[in-house]
Structure 1
Amino acid sequence: MNPANQQYYGQYPSAPPNQTGQPHSGYQRPPQGTSYYPPAELPAPVQPSYQQTSYSNYGPPQNQSQPSQYQQYPPQQYPGGPPQALRPFSQAQPAQYQNQPYSAQQLPQAPQAPYGQPPAQYGQFSPNAYQGPNGPNPQGPAPYPPQQHPIHPGAQQWPPSQQFPPNHGYDVPPTPPSAGYDQAQRAYHAPVDTSADCEALRKAMKGMGCDEAALIRVLTSTKYDNPWAMAQLVQDYNKRFIRDLAKDIESETRGDLETALLALIRGPLENDVRVLIKALDRAGTDEDALMDVLLCRSNADIRAITTEYKRIKGHDLLVDIKDDVDDTLFRLYSMVLSATRAEDTAPITATDIDQKVTEVQRATEGMIGTNAIAVAQVFASCNASQLHAVSEAYRRKYHRSLEEVIEKEFRGDMEDALLYMLESAIDRARSDAKRLEKPLYRTPRKDRLFINRVVSLYWDRSRLDAAKSAYQRYSSTRASLRNSIKALLSGDYEDLMVALIRERR
């Protein structure tokens, strides 16, 4: 066969091209549905010898899953519609594209997920769910990049260097701040009548002595369960008597009763800041107090705490922490204070969880030594549900608990902080119960730590109830929290703590 014609063999069943590369004038174009021949202006390349396979019925090479190089043509050269050669020959021409002009406007638009819900995931499309320009695509379109989805104005953005984006690219609503952590919440609080209670407070502290029972009765009243109601009581008292309620309590009470009453009237946000200031005192750092305030908190709460700390202390919180803790623990707290933790509504995806599990294993058991920063990055970027999923996946994959790995690979404050985060994610009620029991039975007893933990639970009724229920199940004595308080505390301090756990004295 003439070499000039051999390269077109199988493409021109009626006649080969002439010497100019054009088909003979008597040649008719094959009917719709058969193989296309190359246009005159695009000479077909010679097929290499290793690709010389048998051709049947002038169709494509056998066992060739991808379109050959003869099949790639700009659609505008075929006014009747896009050529079939853009798809494998085994697929029929879609009816909706026959004898229609081809334009980019026919491409389907990416579906937008409702607000608060993640977009559909890659691989979740049914075979006919996505109609592309070349017919149904069983795999669906490629995952949409996060920037194509509108971001809620209040959603936290993470830095590009973040290894695990906190919300995995999903547009999720930010976790709202806890009660008492956002001034905007005050607008939703209905004012209460505080006149009688202000008089009762002033009468309890006026003159000789102090009526501690009256202070406890007023300040633990259900009327002031809301932090903004308590703030109103303090403000009305100060305005009515041109005094400072906190200073009056300091002058009239002593010891643990004074500490607990002051923690109560400050409200949750200011008390958190006061606890941090005390914990970072130059006399020594209270790592337990740091963990209580900063770990396992929402991004909104962290931002409120850092802002209030700077307002009261005049310093950046992270700078003060750096001066008081070791470098590894400082790196953990710097991640926490960046407020890039996944929001509570961020979904759990198997790919992300498996990636985190692998990262933790490589940073601990998979290497000589420990990469504490990598583990801290995983823990600080996860919300509670995601960290719980990481723990479960680690057990299934490596047949040991993540708690055991942390206890084996870490020591000191870093071990305590990671276990605190992990235990809270696995069972928050049990973690709260253990945190209440530990300072009560420690020798010497750490009353300030116990007070701060009880007061923080006081402002969250559902969490307090769960902690009390777990306390009786998991405490070493199997006693109720109320009975433990009555057995270990005494006097007005005992009465106040029983009232703060919302039990009758």
Structure 2
Amino acid sequence: MNPYQQQYDQPPSGGYQGYQPPPSQAPPAGHFQQPYGAAHGQQYPPQGQPPYPGQPPQQFSGQASPAQPYGPPPPQQFPGQTQPPPHQGYSNQPPPQQYGQQQAYGVPFGQPAQSGAYQYNQQPPFGAAPPQQWQQPFGQPYGQLPAGPPAPPSPGYDVSQKQFYQPVDTNADVEGLRKAMKGMGCDEKALIKILTGPKYVNPWAMQQLVADYNKRFLRDLANDIKSETRGDFEDALLALIRGPLDNDVRTLHKAMDRAGTDETALADVLLCRTNADVKAIVAEYKRLGGKDLLAEIKSEVNDTLFRIYSMALAAGSAEPSAPVNPLDVESKVTELHRSTEGVVGASAVSVAQIFINSNEAQIRAISEAYRNKYHRPLQDVIEKEFRGDTEDALLHILLMSSDHAKADAQWLHSPLMGRMGVKDKQFIYRLTSLYWNPPRLAAAKDAYKTVYRKALKTDVKEALRGDYEDLCVALLGGD
């Protein structure tokens, strides 16, 4: 049996090999330097990252709400998550400079961020393990900016997150799913209503629903959906019940399991991901298919793309909390010029190495400094010097780092409203990926309305039809 057609399994017990959360430690003694690029008055870590211990944690239904002695309002809540106790955070930080900041979530697209707004890349930790204290490694060179703690895996990417997940009551939904697919015909509206219910945005809750259905009826929910639905509606439902990690792995498998590789799918899944998520994807790909992901990619793409993805899969990017170092920015700007406009025969690998080894704030700073020094946008340089899948991969990293909400809006618009018609598999992957990150989806919808002058839901209703349209509208939620 093809391992990729087996029913959805849980990740291996104990998490994924190669990823170990840092042990709880006390914060470093003495003064801790404010990262370059953080907002004025903001405590470490920099903008756009999960809060340190001591900053207000996110709350979920079923939790006791700790006191909120902070200015920002409590973040969005999700069901099924226990809350670890807060810890003491760092304080007495010096006022920082503003360099390469990113617009906050919760702020209308194009407007300046306000204090307390939800910051991009601050993963909503429904199903996630609690933040742990982190200590700067011993022997940090004098004057060098601290590297910052590693970002935790996204919800659904590490089985150890399940210990903080409170099971939900699935009894009525399990019965409703069976009733919708039992007998003659299928109640598609019931399937959509149950599977897009707000409590199942949590990947661990969706996994519980699937397991409870299979156990209750001694059946396989995925197989029942396959037998009762068809086409893009079926594909979207299956992506939804798999959860984010399994859907990533199966998307990669399909991208390389046909005549002609889907390089766009490779970029969608593997670029602009945290180190922890990359490690989880590589491990799960090996577990499900028994094959090495990088070796599979090598057999499918040209040498330049292989070298780009080998760097991405090494999971050695600067962590999102790592600060911007002005001297490092200047050095990388010079190197980018030498690798593109400054020579005959641009080096995509050199450009990719700089991009992949930098976090979003650092790439924004590099892009801004390049424009100031050479009087042209870095995007224009890449579009001039490179072509095809290499150009697409480099632009994907640059644009996602420069303005993630706007890039997400374009990410959805391209397969939905393209001149060649809807690219449904692309759209399904991208929409479900955003669905599992509600703050990111909300920001993308705001940006979409600003860029395209109409709501994303309007375009979905215009481009799609039938039950597939209804499902995508439900995944988008309210405007």
Same fold (TM over 0.5): yes
Aligned residues: 352
Q: CA deviation at 1:241?
A: 0.8
Mapping of residues 6-25 of structure 1, within 5 Å: none
Asked whether 1:495 is paired with 2:470, we answer yes
Equivalent in 345, 367, 382 of residue 391 of structure 1: 367
Residue pairs, 1:269-418, within 5 angstroms: 269-418=245-394
Structure with greater Cα Rg: 1
SS in 1 for 2:243: helix
CA deviations over 1:289-316 (Å, ceiling 9, x no partner): 1111111000000000000001111111
**Alpha-carbon distance between aligned partners in 1 of 2:306 and 2:292, rounded to the nearest angstrom:** 14
Q: Which runs of 5+ in 1 are unaligned?
A: 1-111, 122-151, 158-164
Indicate conservation of the 8 Å contact 1:439/1:449, yes or no. Answer: yes
Q: Distance in 2 between matches of 1:484 and 1:447?
A: 14
Could you list the per-position Cα deviations for residues 337-370 of structure 1 after superposition, in whole angstroms to 9, with x for gaps in the alignment? 0000000000101011111111111111111111
Name the residue aligned to 2:118.
none
Mapped partners of 1:115, 1:492: distance in 2: 59
Cα distance change of structure 1 residues 463 and 450 upon mapping to structure 2, 3 Å threshold: same
- Larger RCO: 1 or 2 (CA < 8 Å, sep 6+): 2
Find the counterpart in structure 1 of residue 457 from structure 2: 482
Query: How much has 1:502 moved relative to structure 2?
Result: 1.1
Match of 1:438, SS?
helix
For the residues of structure 2 that align with 1:253 and 1:459, how far apart are their CA atoms? 23
Percent of aligned pairs sharing the same letter: 58
- Contact 1:335–1:380 (CA<8 Å) still a contact in 2? yes
Provide the secondary structure at the position in 2 that maps to 1:301.
helix
Other structure's SS at 2:301 match: coil
Q: Deviations over 1:433-479 (max 9, x none)?
A: 0011111112132011101100000010100000000011112xx22
Equivalent position to 1:419, from 395, 404, 408: 395
C-alpha change, 1:417 and 1:114, in structure 2 (3 Å) is farther
Q: Choose which of 424, 440, 447 in structure 2 pairs with 1:447.
A: 424
Provide the rounded CA distance (Å) in 1 between the counterparts of 2:251 and 2:191: 22
Runs of at least 5 residues in structure 2 that lack an aligned partner in the other structure = 1-26, 37-131
CA distance, structure 1, for counterparts of residue 32 and residue 134 of structure 2: 16
Contact 1:406 1:415 in 2 (8 A): yes
Distance in 1 between residues matched to 2:280 and 2:168, nearest whole Å: 25
Matched, 1:254 2:223: no
Q: CA deviation at 1:430?
A: 0.5
1:215 and 1:424 mapped to 2: Cα distance? 33
Residues 1:431 and 2:407 aligned together: yes
* Partner AA of 1:435 in structure 2: W
Q: For 1:359-384, what per-residue CA distance to the aligned partner results, in whole angstroms no more than 9, with x for missing partners? A: 11111111111122211110110011
| Pair 1:428–1:368, CA change in 2 (3 A) | same
For residues 44-63 of structure 1, the aligned pairs below 5 Å read: none
Tell me, in whole angstroms, the C-alpha distance in 2 between the residues paired with 1:119 and 1:431.
Answer: 29
Alignment correspondent of 2:209: 233
Partners of 2:145 and 2:325 within 8 A in 1: no
What do the CA deviations read for 1:233-282 (whole angstroms, capped 9, x no partner)? 00111111111101110111000100000000000000000100011123
Maintained 8 Å contact 1:115/1:171: no
Question: Could you tell me which of 424, 431, 440 is aligned with 1:463?
Answer: 440
| Structure 2 residue matching 1:269: 3-state secondary structure | helix
Contact 1:205 1:248 in 2 (8 A): yes
For residue 120 of structure 1, report the CA deviation from its aligned partner. Answer: 10
SS in structure 1 at match of 2:351: helix
SS of 1:187 mapped into structure 2: helix
Partner of 2:192: 216
Q: Which runs of 4+ in 1 moved over 6 A?
A: 152-157
Using the alignment, how far apart are the partners of 1:177 and 1:118 within structure 2? 26
Instruction: Give 1:184 deviation, angstroms.
Output: 1.1
Letter in 1 for 2:195: L
Counterpart Cα distance in 1 of 2:153 and 2:364: 22
Report if the CA contact (8 A) 1:370-1:409 is conserved: yes
Distance 1:184 1:286, change over 3 A: same
Give the TM-score, by structure 2 length.
0.71
Letter in 1 for 2:404: R
User: What's the TM-score, normalizing by structure 1?
Assistant: 0.67
Matched-pair contact (CA < 8 Å) for 2:145–2:323:
no
2:179 maps to which residue? 203
The alpha-carbon deviation at position 503 of structure 1 amounts to 3.0
